[in-house]
Amino acid sequence: MTTGSDTRARAERLWARAGGGDGGPRLTRLQRLAARFGRGAVIGVPYLWLLLFFLLPFLIVLKISFAEFRIGVPPYTPLLEWLEGGYLQIRLALGNYLFLGQDPLYISAYLSSLKVAAVSTLIALFIGYPMAYAIARASPSWRAVFLLLVILPFWTSFLIRVYAWIGILKNNGLINNALMALGLIDDPLPLLNTEISLYVGIVYSYLPFMVLPLYATLEKMDVSLIEAAADLGCRPLRVFLTVTLPLSMPGIVAGSMLVFIPAVGEFVIPDLLGGADTLMIGKVLWSEFFTNRDWPVASAVAIAMLVLLVIPIVIFQHYQQRQAERAEET
């Protein structure tokens, strides 16, 4: 994690980039004081928000993950207990974590979540890249329309859109009915509650998160670089491989992270569209919590998942920072 001065320096850089700067020598001391206060408030509010709504719940979950299951309210043992004679007893139950390692269910659920997320990310990349490219190269008025179309689904509830896919994919749903009406098939294809429907659901839901960052990098890219490559004798495919693709790497990384990370923990889509045998850690977590009512194990699953996901986030952050530093040098 970053140190205090590091954070401060970064915040100041952001401020300067946003047009703040030091404001020149003409500012009075009062104005400068006000500016500093304003700066503090602007940076402080999000930190406070994160502290209240992310860090505190996280700490509570962390605490529960070290407790033991019991029947009662709350359904777990306390960590701290006053014993007679003035002893303070701390009981850290590591059994939950050991249990995760022992029961193959959890490990295979983790692995299969990672696999599903990785495959979905790849599919989203292959669909999203051409989309983003086409939008970035469209005329400005069309660009706005296309972008609106990409964002439009967000105006409908996520759940409703997933349910809509059930209507499309089920045995007497849109696709099967159409195919049978055309006489292409006699019996409905099993589409719903299969791997296919799972991937369709995830890719569909997260595609905008792939398209938008890709669009942002592709749109910023100087078209004259592509022309220069063509001018130097490069055919279109090689132009793409040697110039466009390397230069859109930041967008590819950002989009992939934005799809991969939430897809790993996805619960709703595998539950509604996935098959009975679809094993994903989000689903395991849910059933641990609500079916088994084993809060400590469920918390341990959640913490382990978080740790697994933090690693790619840190890699991503590191990459982004390097990118930002490089941009600053120019």
Partner 1 sequence: MPDHTVWGQCDMMETVAPGAAAARPEGSRPGAVLRRAEARPIIEIDDVVKTFGAFVAVDHVSLTIREGELFALLGGSGCGKTTLLRMLAGFERPTAGRILIGGQDMTDTAPYDRPVNMMFQSYALFPHMTVEANVAFGLRQDRMPRAAIRERVREMLDLVELTPFAKRKPHHLSGGQRQRVALARSLAKHPKVLLLDEPLAALDKKLRERTQLELVGIQERVGTTFVVVTHDQEEAMTMADRVAIMDSGRIIQVDTPHALYEYPNTRFVAEFFGTVNLFEGQLVEDEPDHLLIRCDALANPVYVGHGISAREHATVWIALRPEKLAVSTTRPDAPHNWDRGIVEDIVYLGGISTYHVRLDGGALARVTTQNLERMSAPEITWDDVVYVSWRPDNVVVVTS
Select 277 or 329, whichever has its Cβ closest to partner 1: 329
Q: Which residues bind partner 1 (CB under 8 A)?
A: 222, 224-225, 227-235, 238, 242-243, 246-247, 326, 329-330
From the CB of 122, what's the least distance to partner 1, in Å?
23
Select 115 or 326, whichever has its Cβ closest to partner 1: 326
- Strand-pairing partners, residue 88, are 82
From the CB of 231, what's the least distance to partner 1, in Å?
5
From the CB of 78, what's the least distance to partner 1, in Å?
56
Phi and psi torsions of 87, nearest 5°: -90, 140
Select 151 or 245, whichever has its Cβ closest to partner 1: 245
- Which has the closest alpha carbon to 133: 215, 206, 207? 215
Helix axes 158-169, 195-220, angle to 10 degrees: 130
From the CB of 216, what's the least distance to partner 1, in Å?
17
In the chain the first and final C-alpha atoms are separated, in Å, by 27
From the CB of 327, what's the least distance to partner 1, in Å?
9
Tokens of 309: 């996901």
- Strand-pairing partners, residue 76, are 69
- Which has the closest alpha carbon to 296: 106, 110, 99? 99
Select 42 or 138, whichever has its Cβ closest to partner 1: 138
Cβ within 8 Å of residue 10, ≥6 positions away: 2
Select 32 or 326, whichever has its Cβ closest to partner 1: 326
